[in-house]
Amino acid sequence: MASKTIARRRARASSRDGNTQDPTDLLENKLTQLRSMTWLCYGGVVDWFDGKAREHLDTVLWVLADMAEDAEELFQLSEKARNERG
């Protein structure tokens, strides 16, 4: 049986860096984030200070940081497009 690969938090490659991450790493990151969001929503009784909750809460904060960065990038792109139109 293959061992389970668990994504570790990586520094996100921003398009502004000129750096790009491997698509497999990006997919693994998103799957880890999705698993934590699902666990927090449907994981049953949650003890926020012990066990898996702390790990998943940390991942959810990572999701929020990613979403904020994505929103900032989208805003910059939309402003650039609007300025180019006239």
d(CA 44, CA 27): 26
The per-residue pLDDT for range 30-62, each reduced to its tens digit, is 888 888 888 777 766 667 667 777 787 888 888
User: Which residues span the domain enclosing 72?
Assistant: 48-86
* Residue 42 domain flag: no
- What number of residues does the chain have? 86
In a domain, 6, yes or no: no
Domain assignment of residue 41, yes or no: no
Give the number of domains in the chain: 1
69 neighbors 14 (Cβ within 8 angstroms): yes
CA distances from 57 to 61, 77, 80 (A): 6, 30, 35
pLDDT value for 45: 65
Residue 16 lies in a domain: no
The model's pTM: 0.54
* Structure confidence at residue 16 as a pLDDT band (50, 70, 90): very low
Q: Is residue 31 part of a domain?
A: no
Mean local confidence (pLDDT), 27-32:
88
Q: Which residue has the higher pLDDT, 17 or 40?
A: 40
